[in-house]
Amino acid sequence: MNRFWQGFAWMLNQMKALGAICLAAMALLTCVDVVGRYFNRPVFGSVEIVGFLASLTVVLALPYTHQMKGHIGVEILSRLLSEKIRTIIDLCTGLLSFFLFGIVAWRMVLYAGTMRRSGEVSMNLELPEHVFIYITAFCFCMFALLILQDVIQHARRLNAMSGRHPQAPDS
């Protein structure tokens, strides 16, 4: 199982790098488009491309942001609670988040399939939209797995706090 999580961590690093590339490409394309508009030569489809790149940047960076605990959290009340209660809360919110993002990823795969079968494309460049939806679903799936990893860690921490350690099988 350790190899799985190592491969998973490698994939998250690749997603982070790809998200950074999308962000840089979005900034570069916007600059080129602005300069092009000054010379009456805008980049055709730039708004569409920037929209797709922005979406990809967000979903590719989501797992990394979670790893770095970069999400906004309200800790005013939770700081007053014991570590065990905070761990229970983290475990419960993690389980709910895992199921939520798992369901979102699943529904997005179904939606992408519907879009693929219908032949839906973007307005100007006629890019197949289902490809971006599949990528988004994959990113949400990876995010859900990262949340599951946290849930497992919280469960282990709670188990250690309770003083119950798994018994080794008799040899």
* pLDDT tens-digit series, residues 93-124: 999 999 999 999 999 999 999 999 999 999 99
Q: In the structure encoding, which two tokens stand for residue 154, read together?
A: 């919280």
Residues 34 and 28: their CA atoms lie apart, in Å, by 10
* Residue 163: per-residue pLDDT: 74
Residue 166's pLDDT band, with cuts at 50, 70 and 90, is low
Residues 165 and 150: their CA atoms lie apart, in Å, by 19
Contacts of residue 70, defined as CB under 8 A and 6 or more positions apart, other chains included, come to 64
% of the chain at pLDDT higher than 70:
93
The amino acid that residue 41 corresponds to is: R
Q: In the structure encoding, which two tokens stand for residue 143, read together?
A: 């995010």
* Residue 23: per-residue pLDDT: 97
pLDDT tops 80 at residue 87: yes
Residue 70's pLDDT band, with cuts at 50, 70 and 90, is confident
pLDDT tops 80 at residue 74: no
pLDDT digits (tens, 9 = 90+) for 144-159: 999 999 999 999 999 9
pLDDT tops 90 at residue 169: no
CA angle 83, 89, 94 (to 5 degrees): 125
Q: Name the residue with tokens 């699943």.
A: 106
Mean of pLDDT values over 11-29: 97
Mean of pLDDT values over 22-42: 96
Burial class (CB in 10 A: 0-12, 13-18, 19+), 167: exposed
pLDDT tops 50 at residue 171: no
Q: In the structure encoding, which two tokens stand for residue 73, read together?
A: 């959290």
Contacts of residue 112, defined as CB under 8 A and 6 or more positions apart, other chains included, come to 130, 133, 134, 137
- Contacts of the segment 2-11: beta carbons below 8 A, 24+ positions apart: 5/149, 8/142, 8/145, 8/146, 8/149, 11/142
* Residue 75: per-residue pLDDT: 72
Residue 11 near residue 142, CB atoms below 8 Å = yes
